[in-house]
Structure 1
């Protein structure tokens, strides 16, 4: 390695230099020239980039009472190389005999002058200072060699974020969710929490898309570092089942694991039974989260339990922890609901929204809210049969169960999706019969088959109103 002479402070951090106002002490006394270190062993830490890692100081040496100025020359090399290469720095005249490195400055300096040394492993270095007195009658002084062990750090991503529609904050890279870092292993990150069905990847910087980590083309346990678009395909991991997950990432090994901590769902089929549901009502298991069961519809006044069968006794199920009616309550598993000591009470016959959460062990009974979104689709609709151009109906701000579309319809067919499902396998609001004519006071069915549609026989502007609580649909030509 060719020796380098440092002529400035770009790499050597801060050295006390003689300034125009610095008062040089002329009488240096008779102290021998010696180097002192703040530490004999230094492990650089990227997490403390701006903190001081090493300070080098030395005594003045002597000018033997001549009053002549002393100039200093600093050298540092790998132990055993006899200062043939490495750092050589002509400091000049100064009384501020200090070289100070932060963790970043020390790592950057060593990697510049000693590019072959190992990272995160100790290398033994030697250093010395030579003092030259301006009076030629005073001999040159060389300090005893001082040894130090230094382990420069390997640059790593220090913060890692999960992002995607499966994550708590979606695709907003300003709100990406930070993972927990392992202090003892800087490359190790973990996160535990709820993930939804959807996609996920890892960003290394909040508010930016690069750098990031994406899924390997073939092995979902492997990841790739991506600094720009052409580095690697923008593959995401897909969460197939919503749940409470532990994510474990090792950036050194470029590995990732997703562990669903929920275990098996206790029941795959559950019913509302009792006075409020005289003909056992099946709760629908959510397609997005198998721990969630939902019912939206009519309940009678009276008591109610949750059963694993259509029976009211002789089977396992759930009772409330305390007697309760509307609102959110904690559920309690019972081996035989026929022995239940408490029940839910529905105060009046009406339509309700019921949500059972087997992960959180809660049951919520509230005012009926049928659907959050209704879309319009078909050859008569503005977007035709295209999912990409589908038109969403307007939800009434004062009655969330009423949806309206007002605009142009062509001649053709219509039906109304209740979810975005490009396979056409989801639920629709369908006509009660095939080739159904439109009317101002119509009814509908919810499902997928038979695939009955309404017929628009005359093109023009229409107002369509759907009331999902009362299950009515109205077509009015404007």
Structure 2
């Protein structure tokens, strides 16, 4: 199974590559929607599915489709199956990849059917579409017969349908953090809860850690099973190996950290986050000005915990960064020299922490425009990128 995140981009690229070698657009049918006497047809075993936990292994729904039409000498067909929330139009108008909801699979040669068990479809609803248990979700499905080969590009044949699915909650899976870095000791009865963001999938804890190490376990009082860190921010599910210096999370700097885990993908991110928020204020911050009570909060992402960022319009002018809102005398992240200019796409500049925002040093943006401001309080750096 091959998961293709954006089949539309692939098709557009195909247009570009093939059109370089074809005979041009004098053939006015080359970008016409396919129109066949017997078009490819997608059929569903049901238009309404209610998923029940006790039937996890049973088939929930089956999709079948007829063979795509022959597209001429030298051509072959490759099939893609897609699902999206009804009304999202398969993410057609969404530019940001991270916000796209469409789920795509490439179908093996010769296969004209696709089935989901109750467990598989429920998992897709909860984990991919982020739908809660008990919710009715209207979904749109599509089979695409992409044309490969031939003397010129041809638009794919497409068949679309829809159905409704009611998901269920599999129940929470509590996880706990134990160790001298988080709970004060290696007593497995004294673990600290790791909050569950998405059932049995995503977890995120933000809080204080001490220098030392810790483990993530499933059951208070028992070291195993545990979720252990391995190379390149990956996790392994450990049911057999006792604690060693190599299978624990290590904390090298005391203070506020974030632990983000995706046990479904087997990945984690652990990072130092000294401040809860970073705020921008000044005449360079569009719509805010020098009203400290309206200072704009930057964006924090658990998947990139050391960084606060903001994308949007900035005006030519000055601004300041605070770690709290509404206090001119609070902690500020300032340049060492007043009037330090942030040059778009230049190397990051080192910031200084001014506990009382004194001296009153300000950052400068020289030209109005759309930028991304990236602040890393862990490394004490700031960078401006032009969008």
**By the TM > 0.5 criterion, same fold?**
no
> TM-score of the superposition, structure 1-length normalised?
0.32
Greater relative contact order (Cα 8 A, min sep 6): structure 1 or 2?
2
> TM-score of the superposition, structure 2-length normalised?
0.37
Q: Which has the larger radius of gyration?
A: 1
